[in-house]
């Protein structure tokens, strides 16, 4: 179908009525087969005029002014004032079908030239002759759309009926938009907002949205002060909201807008209209040239929506005052001359000119030569036949036919017929060359029309087969289409395949078969190849693999002496495959020393003289293969020890004890020799703490962190590698300081002094001891303080001036000629001790018949020795004997004295003890009577139980009620004054609380529970109100009270069962009788009557109501017994009587299942389509076993399309899948085989924990599948 051209034409300048230009009669003629025509009885009159017996009535279609919302939420204008003429009784097919989101026809002038209306598809049932007459008001049709090539459609009489019987492929519609922008109107200078919403529950990321004005203008580049785009996302409802704000609207903002939403392979769009209201102005005394020139505001404002903002700007020119009346010229001119007149007189705003011209009156000029002119446009399928007919006033007038301005002569293709005053031109075997403008001239008058030749889509008859081959082979992809000579396009991975002279790809065609040939395949030819035709696509995967690599001789590991030649050799197949050599991952390039050879299957690498750098891992990689050949080369050299560089006399090293010694000895050898340091028979390890040996490449070292006298002696160095062994010796002499003395003893401690003594060190370091140093520190401190600055010759000393209560430690240093020894170990800590003060606040905590519990606070003053514990004693009144109650000290400040006689009186005292002794005891002032005290009971009811405690049916009830009282109170429970059944309610009592537990609450558990706590004659009670609630029942008696216009009044009664909770609201839903799909009108509604508004005229509705309480909606709803038919008021339509057609039919699969190959781990989908009425029940089976509640399968059914999705299949999911549809009239089923590729090995199945009998079954199935392939 050619793209509609941007021109405005009306057929032969027909006169228009008072305000709008005339709208030509749009005809849709469909020729039925003879048997259908024979059944025609009597046409139905719709507009009061009798149809002509010789010619079919044309189809007149007019869109009403005001758009009304459709039930599914898509804002589309509805047809108003429809009258249907039928000449056949089979009226099931529809003339025009619109998708839920197809763009509506424009209803204003601004966007008529930028957007093209959707052409009407051919009817599904072409066996019946139908005529649809719809009157359109002239003021709702844009003037430019009246003469457009795609504004009207006409099918000639000679169209082949078989072509009309072909089914129309309707692509599946994707519904992303849950709320779509609606058409609206706004005054000039006002603001308006359009909102679109997308639900994101099944979306992984944000969808992409685009706003358009007209057909192609993207509004994203026009945002500014007059246009703003906003996006928001609600995390709770998972809804994306997209808003378009138009600020201070202008007249040129009016037009058709479009919103497009895309997400991966999903797409949704919706069109809406914006009308700008303006004040009516007369056309008198208007300078038409200056009034309809473009405004230059869009040059500086990025928010303007005018199309001229995208055009090249020129400097405005000064125009002279018009000397002619342009209005008179426009009134008498044909619409196809408007552009020429506007260009001649410098008028650039053609849309404004047409809008203003539309409001002017034009005199009606009646044609003198034609009583009936040609239709504005006709449509015919390619290869069909079309008849163009005019009716003459004077049959003697000479008539001539023209095609694109050239006269048509009578030929077998163009046949002229005469029937009375009718003149008919028949065009046979229409082709794309016949798509042109036709005109007929009768004397001085002429009428024109346009013929559209519709080319049927080319469909794929035979799909491409997948190919798997190896390099250098020939690949030929074959596909068969439905028509010879069809134009197709070959694609590879979504990119068109080049088919030039120098291209590797060749394309040939043999009748309906098309071939893509690759003579010499390479690995780069792997990919997905597809063929595209106008009616479909087909694709297949081509896999080109390399030929398998065979290794006849692999590389060998070698060991070579330094300076000797190296030769490496390998042999592989195929022999013509080049390769590369690598050493330690680095590419080897040939040089004077390195030679690389390749002869047939042999590959060689030769090195004349080896060096240490030639050692490493060598790899040969054949080009194009992932396999490689590897070997290790070792270059060896005998080890040597170089002691001459040390410059030590007699290889002897002298060091002072305590110093660090690091002796580094140079060595050589390849590979790096193994170095061993030895002292006598002891080996010095690298991991030693104080003495350790290390080796770094060309040297080895011996390190002694702190030298000692034991380190003196001869050290031996042993070097070993693959080439030999070497040894050497070094002597080390150490001079040391004395050993530290032993820890001093402190036998006597005074108030501020102590006496200490020690023994001389065991080793004096080879020099006599000169004296000692003494140091002291506090135990908690880390800083030592020296007590003497002159050496002490004796081995005793008395430190003084110490602080009482502070722990101290002392240590000793020995001194000789070499230096000072390390300090001795500290002495044991000694502390001047002090007794603590007495405990405080001794009181009685509890008294029973045999025990008394006392508690107290720690002493105010605790000595330096700390607090070891407390001693509790008691004395019976009248005696002086104090009895110790606790044999062991207690660290707690609370103690219970047991074993007392009831009724006796005792005195109690407590003492604090530490290392210095016992403190003064704290005695209670008064005697204590050993007798239990009664405490009245008291229930401590929690705050949340003081109100009604509410739980839902099935939930657990677990209440804990604490209480007080001594001795242990008795607890009892009553429900509504009766004892509680322990089989339904469990109660457990402790010393301080009572627990009531109901595992699964029921409504019978509701009520008031009374808890009683009793201690002797003291009683305390509390009441707990428990309410168990459930879902309410449905409302009662839902009736339709009144129907007026698009409104329905409903009334109902509250439910009998409120679920033991007050009703919080109602939810009202409606359903169209045709689809019976329920939609929610109102939620959380509190009253028992409501008026449902905005119902669609002509639809019949049922209603149902759910009741709601705090638990949720009722499980079922109450539906109205009768339906509500919405009838348009004031319209008297004579409805013809028809015999109701029985649409019921048993299930029939229109698209069967197809055998499918799936890849393990990737989702697989099985699709089929079924037709049945009433709606069938669809059931999926695997190997004749029904698939029920399996989380690995997802089943969908939408508009008859049944889909089974298998999530991440494995080889067990392969087998025979069946889709079965069942209704009251019968059943049908289709089968397909699913094979899952990329299975598992026996080891992988065992590793995954699969049982052995399932592994055996899977392995047997895999063996049987291989021969079938």
pLDDT tens for each residue of 656-714: 888 889 888 898 888 788 899 998 888 888 888 889 898 887 889 999 988 888 888 89
First to last CA, the chain: 45
1014 DSSP β-pair partners: 970, 1019
The reported pLDDT for the residue numbered 1264 is 58
Q: How far is CA 577 from CA 549, 552, 572, 600, 1094, in A?
A: 10, 14, 9, 9, 78
pLDDT of residue 859: 92
Q: Can you give the pLDDT at residue 73?
A: 37
What's residue 1263's pLDDT?
Answer: 61
Looking at the predicted structure, is the pLDDT value of residue 960 above 90? yes
pLDDT at residue 146 tops 50 = no
pLDDT for 774 beyond 90: yes
The mean pLDDT of 909-922, rounded to a whole number, is 86
Stretch 468-485: mean pLDDT, rounded?
87
Percentage above 70 pLDDT, the chain: 79
Question: How does DSSP assign 1136-1182, residue by residue?
Answer: PP-PPP---EEEEEEE----EEEETTS-EEEEEEEEEESPPEEEEEE
Scan for tokens 């290392």, then name that residue. 915
Read off the tokens for 1213. 């999911």
* Beta strands 489-492; 986-989: pairing state: unpaired
Q: Which two tokens stand for residue 399?
A: 């008539």
Q: What is the pLDDT of residue 742?
A: 92
pLDDT higher at 721 or 20: 721
What is d(CA 1209, CA 405) in angstroms, rounded to the nearest whole number?
Answer: 66
pLDDT at 756 over 70: yes
- Average pLDDT on 918-926 reads 89
For residues 1093-1122, give the mean pLDDT: 91
pTM as predicted: 0.29
145 pLDDT above the threshold of 80: no
Question: Which residues contact residue 793 at a Cβ distance below 8 angstroms, ignoring those fewer than 6 apart?
Answer: 771, 772
pLDDT at 1133: 56
Distance CA 1048, CA 1125 (A): 9
pLDDT digits (tens, 9 = 90+) for 556-609: 998 888 888 999 999 988 777 889 999 998 999 999 889 999 988 899 999 988
| pLDDT for 21 | 34
pLDDT at 504: 84
Quickly state the pLDDT bin for 289 (edges 50, 70, 90).
Answer: low
Average pLDDT over residues 902-928: 88
Task: Choose between 168 and 647: higher pLDDT.
Answer: 647
CA-to-CA dists, residue 465 to 476, 481, 534, angstroms: 10, 14, 20
Question: Out of 175-189, 283-297, 445-459, which region has the weakest mean confidence (pLDDT)?
Answer: 283-297
Structure tokens at 1157: 């190959």
Q: Is pLDDT of 59 > 60? A: no
Q: What is the pLDDT of residues 224-278, one digit of tens each?
A: 878 889 999 888 888 999 999 999 888 888 888 999 999 888 888 899 999 888 7
Pick the range with the lowest mean pLDDT from 119-133, 818-832, 1075-1089, 1159-1173: 119-133
Give the mean model confidence (pLDDT) for residues 147-168: 37
Is the per-residue pLDDT at 101 higher than 50? Answer: no
> What are residue 905's DSSP bridge partners?
929
What is residue 916's predicted lDDT score, i.e. its pLDDT?
A: 67
What is the C-alpha separation between 161 and 43, in angstroms, rounded? 21
Q: How far apart are CA 357 and CA 342, in angstroms?
A: 12
Say which residue, 145 or 1071, is predicted with more confidence. Answer: 1071
Buried b (16+ CB within 10 A) or exposed e, 65-84: eebeeebebbbbbbebebbe
User: What's the mean pLDDT in 286-313?
Assistant: 46
Give the per-residue pLDDT at 1221.
Answer: 94
Give the per-residue pLDDT at 895.
Answer: 92
Sign of the Cα torsion 1076, 1081, 1086, 1088 reads negative
Whether the predicted pLDDT of 438 surpasses 70: yes
Compute the half-sphere exposure of residue 1079: CA atoms within 13 Å on the CB side of its CA: 13
State yes or no: pLDDT of 612 exceeds 70. yes
Across residues 720-745, what is the average pLDDT?
87
Given pLDDT bands bounded at 50, 70 and 90, which one contains residue 834?
Answer: low
Q: Name the least confident of 96-110, 266-280, 908-922.
A: 96-110
Q: Which pLDDT score, from 0 to 100, does residue 751 have? A: 64
Q: Note the pLDDT of residue 1085.
A: 92
Q: What is the mean pLDDT of the chain?
A: 78
pLDDT at 365: 56
pLDDT value of residue 698: 85
Q: What is the pLDDT of residue 121?
A: 39
Give the pLDDT band (50/70/90) at residue 1262: low
* Closest to 907 measured CA to CA, from 881, 871, 869: 881
pLDDT higher than threshold 70 for residue 514 = yes
pLDDT at 369 over 50: yes
- Give the pLDDT confidence of 989-1020 residue by residue, as tens digits: 998 899 999 999 998 899 999 999 998 888 99
pLDDT single digits (tens) 1157-1187:
888 888 999 999 999 998 999 999 999 899 9
**pLDDT of res. 757:** 93
Per DSSP, 31 falls in state P
Please give the average per-residue pLDDT across 1061-1075, as a whole number.
92
Pick from 352, 303, 455, 437: nearest CA to 112:
352
Phi, psi angle pair for 709, to nearest 5°: -70, -25
Considering only residues 805 and 254, tell me which one the structure prediction assigns the higher pLDDT. 254
Confidence at 1021, pLDDT banded by 50, 70, 90: very high
What number is the average pLDDT over the span 838-856? 89
Tell me what pLDDT residue 116 has: 36
Lowest mean pLDDT among 278-282, 561-565, 791-795: 278-282
Strands 957-966 and 935-939: antiparallel
Instruction: Give the highest mean pLDDT range of 100-109, 334-343, 645-654.
Output: 645-654
């Amino acid at each position: 179908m050619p793209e509609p051209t941007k021109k405005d034409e009306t057929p032969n300048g027909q006169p228009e009525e008072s305000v709008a230009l005339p709208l030509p009669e749009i005809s849709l003629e469909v020729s039925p087969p003879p048997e259908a025509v024979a059944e025609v009885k009597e046409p139905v009159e719709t507009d009061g005029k009798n149809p002509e017996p010789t010619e079919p009535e044309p189809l007149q279609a007019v869109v009403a002014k005001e758009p009304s919302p459709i039930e599914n939420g898509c804002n589309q204008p509805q047809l108003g004032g429809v009258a249907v003429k039928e000449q056949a009784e089979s009226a099931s097919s529809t003339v025009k079908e619109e998708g839920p989101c197809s763009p509506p026809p424009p209803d204003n002038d601004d966007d008529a030239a930028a957007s093209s209306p959707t052409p009407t598809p051919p009817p599904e049932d072409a066996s019946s002759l139908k005529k649809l007459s719809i009157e359109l008001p002239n003021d709702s049709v844009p003037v430019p759309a009246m003469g457009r090539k795609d504004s009207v459609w006409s099918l000639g009489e000679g169209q082949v009926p078989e072509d009309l019987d072909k089914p129309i492929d309707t692509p599946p519609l994707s519904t992303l938009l849950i709320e779509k922008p609606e058409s609206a109107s706004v005054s000039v200078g006002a603001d308006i907002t359009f909102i679109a919403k997308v639900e994101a529950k099944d979306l992984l990321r944000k969808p992409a949205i685009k706003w358009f004005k007209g057909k192609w203008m993207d509004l994203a580049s026009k945002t500014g002060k007059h246009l703003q785009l906003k996006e928001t996302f609600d995390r709770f409802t998972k809804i994306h909201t997209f808003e378009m704000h138009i600020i201070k609207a202008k007249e040129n903002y009016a037009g058709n807008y479009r919103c497009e939403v895309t997400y991966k392979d999903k797409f949704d769009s919706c069109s809406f209209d914006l009308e700008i209201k303006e004040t009516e102005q007369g056309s008198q005394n208007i300078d038409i040239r200056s009034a309809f020139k473009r405004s230059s505001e869009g040059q500086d404002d990025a928010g303007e929506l005018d199309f001229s903002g995208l055009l090249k700007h020129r400097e405005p020119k000064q125009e002279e005052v018009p000397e002619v009346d342009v209005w008179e010229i426009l009134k008498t001119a044909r619409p196809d001359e408007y552009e020429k007149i506007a260009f001649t007189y410098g008028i650039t705003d053609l849309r404004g000119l047409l809008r203003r011209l539309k409001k002017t009156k034009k005199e009606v000029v009646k044609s003198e030569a034609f009583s009936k002119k040609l239709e504005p446009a006709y449509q015919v399928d390619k290869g069909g036949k079309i008849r163009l007919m005019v009716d003459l006033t004077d049959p003697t007038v000479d008539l001539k036919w023209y095609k694109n301005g050239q006269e048509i002569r009578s030929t077998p293709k163009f046949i002229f017929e005469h029937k009375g005053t009718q003149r008919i031109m028949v065009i046979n075997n229409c082709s794309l060359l016949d798509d042109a403008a036709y005109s007929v001239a009768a004397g001085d008058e002429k009428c024109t029309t346009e013929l559209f030749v519709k080319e049927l889509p080319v469909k794929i008859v035979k799909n491409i087969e997948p190919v798997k081959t190896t390099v250098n082979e020939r690949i030929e992809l074959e596909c068969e289409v439905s028509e010879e000579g069809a134009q197709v396009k070959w694609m590879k991975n979504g990119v068109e395949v080049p088919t030039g002279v120098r291209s590797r790809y060749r394309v040939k065609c043999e009748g309906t078969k098309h071939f893509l040939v690759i003579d010499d395949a390479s690995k780069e030819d792997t990919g997905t190849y597809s063929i595209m035709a106008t009616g479909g696509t087909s694709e297949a995967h081509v896999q080109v693999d390399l030929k398998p690599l065979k290794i006849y001789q692999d590389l060998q590991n070698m060991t070579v002496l330094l300076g000797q030649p190296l030769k490496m050799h390998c042999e592989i197949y195929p022999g013509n495959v080049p390769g590369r050599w690598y050493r330690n991952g680095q590419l080897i390039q040939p040089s004077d020393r390195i030679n690389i050879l390749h002869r047939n299957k042999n590959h060689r690498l030769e090195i004349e003289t080896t060096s240490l750098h030639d050692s490493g891992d060598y790899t040969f990689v054949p080009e194009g293969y992932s396999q490689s050949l590897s070997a290790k080369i070792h270059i060896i050299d005998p080890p040597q020890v170089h002691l001459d560089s040390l410059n030590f006399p007699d290889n002897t090293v002298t060091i002072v004890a305590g110093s660090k010694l690091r002796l580094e000895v140079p060595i050589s050898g390849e590979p790096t020799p193994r170095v061993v340091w030895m002292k006598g028979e002891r080996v010095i390890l690298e991991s030693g703490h104080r003495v350790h040996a290390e080796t770094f490449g060309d040297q080895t070292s011996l390190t002694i962190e702190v030298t000692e006298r034991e380190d003196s002696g001869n050290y031996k160095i042993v070097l070993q590698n693959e080439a030999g062994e070497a040894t050497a010796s070094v002597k080390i002499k150490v001079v040391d300081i004395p050993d530290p003395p032993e820890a001093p003893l402190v036998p006597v401690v005074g108030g501020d002094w102590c006496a200490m003594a020690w023994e001389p060190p065991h080793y004096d370091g080879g020099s006599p001891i000169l004296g000692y140093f003494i140091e002291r520190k506090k135990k908690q401190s880390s800083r030592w303080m020296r007590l003497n600055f002159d050496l002490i010759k004796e081995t005793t000393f008395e430190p003084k001036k110490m602080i009482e209560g502070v722990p101290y430690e002392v240590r000793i240093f020995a001194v000789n000629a070499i230096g000072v020894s390390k300090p001795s170990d500290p002495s044991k800590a000694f502390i001047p001790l002090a007794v603590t003060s007495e405990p405080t606040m001794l009181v009685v905590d509890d008294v029973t018949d045999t025990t008394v519990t006392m508690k107290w606070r720690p002493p105010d003053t605790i000595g330096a020795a700390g607090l070891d514990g407390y001693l509790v004693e008691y004395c019976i009144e009248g005696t002086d004997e104090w009895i110790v109650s606790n044999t062991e000290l207690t660290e707690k400040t609370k103690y219970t004295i047991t074993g007392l006689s009831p009724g006796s009186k005792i005195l109690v005292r407590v003492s604090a003890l530490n290392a210095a002794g016992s403190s003064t005891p704290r005695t209670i002032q008064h005697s204590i009577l050993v007798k239990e005290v009664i405490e009245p009971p008291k229930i401590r009811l929690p705050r949340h139980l003081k109100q009604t405690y509410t739980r839902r049916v099935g939930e657990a009830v677990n209440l804990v009620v604490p209480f007080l009282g001594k001795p242990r109170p008795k607890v009892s429970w009553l429900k509504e004054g009766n004892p509680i059944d322990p089989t339904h309610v469990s109660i457990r009592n402790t010393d301080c609380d009572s627990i009531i537990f109901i595992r699964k609450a029921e409504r019978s558990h509701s009520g008031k529970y009374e808890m009683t706590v009793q201690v002797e004659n003291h009683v305390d009670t509390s009441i707990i109100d428990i309410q168990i609630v459930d879902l309410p029942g449905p409302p009662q008696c839902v009736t339709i009270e009144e129907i007026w216009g698009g409104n329905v009044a409903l009334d109902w009664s509250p439910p009998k069962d409120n679920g033991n909770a007050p009703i919080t609201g109602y939810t009202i839903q409606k359903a169209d009788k045709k689809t019976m799909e329920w939609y929610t009108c109102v939620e959380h509604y509190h009253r028992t009557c409501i008026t449902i508004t905005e119902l669609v005229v002509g639809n019949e509705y049922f209603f149902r109501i759910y009741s709601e309480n705090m638990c949720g909606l009722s499980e079922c709803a109450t539906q109205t017994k009768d339906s509500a038919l919405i009838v348009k008021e004031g319209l008297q339509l004579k409805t013809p009587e028809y015999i109701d057609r029985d649409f019921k039919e048993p299930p029939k699969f229109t698209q069967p299942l197809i055998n499918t190959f799936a890849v393990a781990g990737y989702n697989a989908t099985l699709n089929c389509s079924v037709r049945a009425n009433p709606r069938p029940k669809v059931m999926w089976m695997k190997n004749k076993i029904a698939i029920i509640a399996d989380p690995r399968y997802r089943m969908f059914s939408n508009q008859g399309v049944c889909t089974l999705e298998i999530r991440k299949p494995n080889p067990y999911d392969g087998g025979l899948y069946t889709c079965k549809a069942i209704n009251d009239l019968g059943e049908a089923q289709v089968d397909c085989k699913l094979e899952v590729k990329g299975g598992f090995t026996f080891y992988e199945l065992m590793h995954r924990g699969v049982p052995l009998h399932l592994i055996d079954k899977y392995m047997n199935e895999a063996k049987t599948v291989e021969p079938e392939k």
